[in-house]
Amino acid sequence: MTSVSALTDHIEQYFEQQSELYGKDTFLLGIQPGKPATATALAPVLEMKENSEIDKPKDLSQKALLEQFNAEHKNCMRCGLGKERTQIVLGSGSAFAKVLFIGEGPGREEDAKGLPFVGDAGQILERMLKRMGFIRKEVYITNVVKCRPPGNRNPNDDEIAACAPLLQKQIQIIQPRYLFCLGKVAANALLRSDETIKALRSKVHSYHGAKTFVTYHPAALLRDQNLFWEVYEDMKLFRQVYDAEIGDKPPMVEMNRKN
Ligand code: SF4
């Protein structure tokens, strides 16, 4: 079986070959202010006070607050997934992260290790981070649900709703300037939408003042390497916004494709 490392190397080579074949970059990336997401059956999930900015914690440092949060929730049994898990996977990374990445839920390896995105999809996410000019420890990575759904099924609406206060709290503590939803479950939960990834990506949404981006889950890229071009477009869109507002990273390496 092909290892993930070999697969990601192959994908990198694929990018380089496409670049050589097709010359100049032909991406057209317009930044469109996020239109209001449609309220749907998934709506309950991540609703904070309407139009509120994310509240800034006042008394403790973000690091202390995050440690306190982890201690308070490490034994959470708010939904049935608590009974199924080996370890809870609350999240990892910097309490001061400017960017918070949100997947759907822990997989088998994450459940075993208690850390998010440490399996095959995690290797892909780390490649994505590198390409965007980030390292893992400067961002924060978590999931919509913190316990592994059996058989890696998608979490259901009740489980997402039960776990929503934990993600809300993490966002309130870390106060990321940017949120990056990885996959449909995270995007639908955060943006209160039932639209497809195709409809939600390539736009800048807003979640209580945090600019919010949507792209495919890294696991989807393991199944279909052609999605990398769309993910690359989303990474570029993020960097356009990040560079305009913060601008502390070297330029993102350009890759080229034929539209
Ligand atoms: S998935 Fe979330 S709400 Fe459910 S038990 Fe785990 S931490 Fe608690």
Under DSSP, is residue 27 helix (H, G, I), strand (E, B) or coil? Answer: coil
Which amino acid is present at 129?
L
CATH number reported for the structural domain that contains residue 119 in this entry: 3.40.470.10
Structural domains of the chain, count: 1
CA–centroid distance, residue 164 to ligand 1 (Å): 9
Residue 188 belongs to a domain:
yes
Instruction: State mean pLDDT over 99-113.
Output: 97
> 258 lies in a domain?
no
Answer whether residue 259 is part of any domain: no
Expressed in angstroms, the distance from the first to the final Cα of the chain is 32
Taking the CA of residue 76 as reference, the ligand 1 atom at the shortest distance is: 8
For residue 134, is pLDDT > 70?
A: yes
In-domain check, residue 255? no
> What pTM was estimated for this model as a whole?
0.81
- Mutual orientation of helices 120-132 and 227-245 as an angle, nearest 10°? 40
In a domain, residue 141? The reply is yes
Question: Which residue, among 140, 138, 134, has the nearest Cα to 249 in the 3D structure?
Answer: 134
In a domain, 142, yes or no: yes
User: Does the residue 3 lie in any domain?
Assistant: no
Domain that holds residue 82: 34-49+59-245
**Ligand 1 atom nearest to CA at 82:** 5
115 in a structural domain: yes
d(CA 111, CA 109): 5
List, for residues 189-239, the tens digit of each pLDDT value.
999 999 999 999 999 999 999 999 999 999 999 999 999 999 999 999 999
Measured in Å, residue 159 CA sits from the centre of ligand 1 at 7
Contact between residue 174 and residue 95 where contact means Cβ atoms under 8 Å apart? yes
Residue 104: closest CA among 42, 186, 166, 41: 186
Cα–ligand 1 centroid distance for 199 (angstroms) = 29
Q: Which ligand 1 atom lies nearest to the CA of residue 85?
A: 6
From residue 14, alpha-carbon distances to 23, 119, 224, 234 in Å are 14, 22, 13, 18
Residues with CB under 6 A from ligand 1: 76-79, 81-82, 88, 145-147, 159, 162-163, 166
